[in-house]
Amino acid sequence: MADSTGTAGAEQDAQPPLRRVIGPKLLVFFVIGDILGTGIYALTGAVAGEVGGAAWMAFGLAFIVAMFTATSYVELVGKYPRAAGAALYTQRAFGIHFLTFMVAFAVMCSGLTSAAAASRAFAGDYLQEFVSLPALAVAIAFLVVLGLINFRGVAESVRLNVVLTTIELSGLVLIIVIGAIALARGMGDAGNAFRFQPEGTPVSLVISGAALAFFALVGFEDSVNMAEETTDPTRTFPRALFTGIAITGVVYMLVAFVATALVPLETLARSTGPLLEVVRVGAAWFPLAVFSFIALFAVSNSALINMMMASRLVYGMAREGIIPGALGLVHPLRQTPWVAIVFTSVLAIGLASYGGVENLGGTTALLLLCVFALVNAAVLVLRRHKVEHEHYRAPTIFPVLGVVSCAYLASPWSGRDVQQYRITGVLLAIGLVLWAVNRVVQRRVRGRR
């Protein structure tokens, strides 16, 4: 949050620096691994149902908006090469503690809505290839298991992330190869990938689809937290971040293209495992269970990362005295933030019980689009603050376009479902209550001294 001062600052200065072990290639894999997951595996059909066969254009627009925001993150991480994030940049730029808290809480909530969307995707068509169980019960059980894993403690490394990312990416490359071979053999109709739904203009449909498709491209912002462990971050980050987003953006557009070219739109739109339909149509010889396993792995991995991020953010805010301190309690044996884990798991279960994949994914995009609009604005404000070292400077037009595009995609004019605003409002209201309760408690404690 705010910069530490006094004793806290001295204690931080006394800590040894983090080991810089992440080079350019590992960082590219980290960015790709952070982006890959539930979005493309579960929401391709929903985006196609929104836009039509030209769903790949919605992913393309979401990719462009993500790139605008990426230029802002690259400038900020080069300027302040620390493990930080949107909350720190907001505090530096605007100096409003409540706004900083709401940004941090919104990022935390985006992790919960993303994990809840993943739980519903996990319980859908991909799992049905193995066993048929009630979807809601599976989603809740899935989140409970993630909570237990989170409580036990998960030792992660960036090198392990290379293996996990390779598995997730292989599933998408497989879809592209299957699609290309099938189309070359005369299956499907490539012309379908250029058709739009009859309701609405092509521009409005692509924008509406991009508001949902943006969910598939979030995650890259987490890479700024690796700044202190990256070799020469000022030079490494620009190339790695832009390369990672470009690779995923192109892969996503190709996946969406072959999906709508091969599979009837109605089938894609109603499926919670849309890429499974591509395999079913384009490569009947390929074992569906193998692809389902890859998809379930991708969904599970992204959900676990999001739940870990959310619980650690709650823990961090509690330790900083921003929300009630009880949320920062650590289990004496497991040494994990157990109260924060329980709190975030309960919220995620509630979200999974309330919404489906499409609305939960859209809510994740909505929360992060609002955060990204502020980050893009923060870049422009922080131009007044000069630093001695050289760093990447985004062309001014990019942060400006980032503010406008993120704000527009987050607005009702983008065609966003009103249900997503309701979910967002409830989540932020919970944050507001925690903030208010903590303020009251702190005042009473001061009054007794």
Determine the pLDDT at residue 229. Answer: 61
Beta-ladder partners of 22: 230
Contact of 374 with 103, CB cutoff 8 Å: yes
Determine the pLDDT at residue 83. Answer: 52
Tokens 């498709």, residue located: 213
Contact of 206 with 415, CB cutoff 8 Å: no
Contact of 62 with 210, CB cutoff 8 Å: yes
pTM of the model: 0.88
Delimit the domains of the chain by residue range. Answer: 22-448
CA distance 105 to 427: 9
3-state secondary structure of 22: strand
According to the CATH classification, is domain 22-448 in 3.30.160.340?
Answer: no
Contact of 52 with 196, CB cutoff 8 Å: yes
And the tokens for 96? Answer: 């409003």
DSSP string, 203-236: HHHHHHHHHHHGGGGTTGGGGGGGGGGBSSHHHH
Determine the pLDDT at residue 161. Answer: 57
DSSP string, 279-318: HHHH-TTS-HHHHHHHHHHHHHHHHHHHHHHHHHHHHHHH
Render each residue's pLDDT in the chain as its tens digit; 449 residues.
334 434 434 444 444 554 555 667 777 877 887 788 888 999 999 999 999 999 999 999 999 999 999 999 989 888 877 655 788 889 889 999 899 899 989 999 999 999 999 999 999 999 999 999 999 999 999 999 989 887 876 554 445 556 777 888 899 999 999 999 999 999 999 999 999 999 889 999 999 999 999 999 888 877 666 655 667 767 778 888 899 999 999 999 999 999 999 999 999 999 989 999 999 999 989 999 999 999 998 888 888 888 888 888 888 888 878 888 888 888 887 777 889 999 999 999 999 998 889 999 999 999 999 999 999 999 999 998 887 777 889 999 999 999 999 999 999 999 899 999 999 999 999 999 989 888 888 787 777 66
Contact of 103 with 90, CB cutoff 8 Å: yes
